[in-house]
């Protein structure tokens, strides 16, 4: 089994330079979607996109009232588009618990029921990540879920699912940020899978100056979101993660993660049992990063007109700059094309494929720093047939 996994990973993650193709992504158009200082919020961060069952596009962000930091008074906001992202509704607060942190929106669409499940995390506004990691905080990070049965027009109350989705020995916890998937093939077909990350005790670790380490993991539901449970972990030194289902027909999952190995490269892991267990992380040598979140989605399947395509976006640099989209023609094994959206300051991003063949990238962008606004870029893959 170990030799099989090594062979599988080596095949999947071959150096992308062997598969370069002379192709270009179309020139994108952009619009400002959330601008710092507008709408009653100091800063907008942590984007997420989802195409609902009726084709509507839902854009989720954190609205930060206290400043740009990860603590304080933070709400989850949403805008909705019914014309493929051309025009948008006014922003709507969908989760606000006073002067606390409501964040890390990570939605998933259940294509069987048409429901959208939104996974989130919460902590006190006066608790900082370092204290939560060291378990010196007044409370801890908790996991919540909300549901929409009408394509994002309304949402259920947030339900605390921490008990079934978080190891009680962990400190920090964050869903995504980004989006989840529903497995389409193999023995776990229909399972909803949410990527997440956490901190854990490690005598050899050095996170925030203490004996702690970061790891990635998933949570999943086999009953259309009625209940959620904890899947397998990937460690050490893994953090914010996104995943796709590979095109092997067996439901194999590929996780793409922010890495703390100090090499400014993403890391990858494979699960062949729907996220219950994962292979050890390996370096994604073709994916440079400044230690930052990234987006990773499936665009189409082999049986579709455009074939086996996956998309990836991140600040392709050792600094938070140079927002770039990459295209894979083989489930993320190699990268065949890339397009720089913006060379300046940029950070977190989200991707969504539209029914008309276009796709959207919502990303953090600015002139002086990456958190001045969230802009929506629209691209087409027609020239990549």
- Cβ atoms 268, 257 nearer than 8 A: yes
The arithmetic mean of pLDDT across residues 142-171, rounded, is: 98
CA dihedral 332, 335, 339, 341 (to 10 degrees): 40
- 232-236, 257-261, 332-336: segment of lowest average pLDDT: 332-336
In the numeric block, the tokens 């720089």 are attached to: 340
Q: What are the DSSP calls for 48-90, one per residue?
A: EEEE-TTS-EEEEEEEESS-SSSSSSEEEEEEEESSTTSS-PP
Range list of H helices, the chain: 2-12, 129-133, 162-165
**Please, which residues have CB within 8 angstroms of residue 155's CB and are 6 or more apart in sequence?**
94, 95, 118, 146, 147, 148
What confidence score (pLDDT) does residue 269 get? 98
Give yes or no for a contact between 121 and 96, defined as CB atoms under 8 angstroms apart: no
- How far is Cα 76 from Cα 93, in angstroms, rounded to an integer? 6
Segment 8-55, tens digit of pLDDT? 444 444 443 333 333 444 567 899 999 999 999 999 999 999 999 999
Ranking 9-13, 76-80, 93-97, 108-112 by mean pLDDT, the lowest is 9-13
Distance CA 79, CA 90 (A): 6
Question: CB neighbours of 365 closer than 8 A, spacing ≥ 6?
Answer: 323, 342, 344, 345, 346, 372, 373, 374, 375
* CATH class (in words) of the domain with range 31-384: mainly beta
């Amino acid at each position: 089994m170990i030799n099989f996994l090594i062979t599988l990973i080596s095949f999947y993650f071959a150096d992308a330079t062997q598969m370069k193709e002379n192709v270009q992504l179309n020139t994108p158009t952009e619009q400002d979607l959330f601008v710092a200082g507008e709408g009653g919020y100091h800063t907008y961060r942590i984007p997420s996109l989802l195409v609902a069952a009726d084709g509507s596009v839902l854009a989720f962000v954190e609205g930060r009232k206290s400043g740009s930091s990860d603590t304080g008074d933070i709400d989850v906001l949403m805008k909705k588009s019914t014309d493929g992202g051309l025009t948008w509704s006014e922003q709507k607060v969908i989760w606000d618990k006073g002067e606390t942190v409501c964040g890390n929106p990570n939605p998933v669409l259940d294509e069987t029921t048409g429901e959208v499940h939104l996974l989130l995390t919460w902590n006190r506004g006066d608790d900082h990540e370092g204290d939560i990691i060291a378990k010196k905080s007044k409370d801890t990070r908790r996991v919540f879920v909300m549901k929409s049965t009408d394509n994002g027009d309304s949402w259920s109350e947030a339900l605390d699912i921490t008990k079934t989705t978080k190891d009680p020995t962990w400190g920090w916890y964050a869903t995504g940020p980004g989006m989840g998937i529903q497995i389409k093939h193999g023995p776990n077909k229909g399972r909803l899978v949410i990527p997440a990350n956490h901190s854990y005790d490690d005598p050899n670790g050095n996170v925030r100056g203490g004996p702690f380490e970061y790891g990635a993991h998933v949570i999943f539901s086999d009953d259309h979101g009625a209940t959620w449970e904890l899947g397998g972990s990937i460690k050490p030194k893994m953090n914010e993660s996104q995943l796709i289902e590979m095109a092997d027909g067996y439901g194999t999952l590929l996780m793409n993660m922010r890495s703390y190995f100090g090499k400014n490269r993403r890391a990858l892991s494979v699960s062949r049992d729907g996220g219950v267990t994962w292979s050890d992380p390996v370096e994604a040598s073709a994916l440079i990063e400044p230690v930052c979140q990234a987006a990773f989605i499936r665009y189409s399947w082999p049986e579709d007109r455009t074939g086996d395509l996956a998309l990836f976006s991140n600040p392709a640099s050792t600094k938070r700059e140079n927002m770039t989209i990459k295209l894979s023609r083989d489930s993320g094994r190699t990268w065949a094309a890339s397009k720089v959206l913006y060379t300046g300051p940029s950070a977190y991003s989200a991707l969504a494929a539209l029914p008309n063949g276009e796709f959207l990238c919502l990303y953090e962008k600015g002139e002086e720093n990456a958190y001045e606004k969230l802009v929506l870029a629209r691209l087409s893959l027609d020239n990549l047939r």
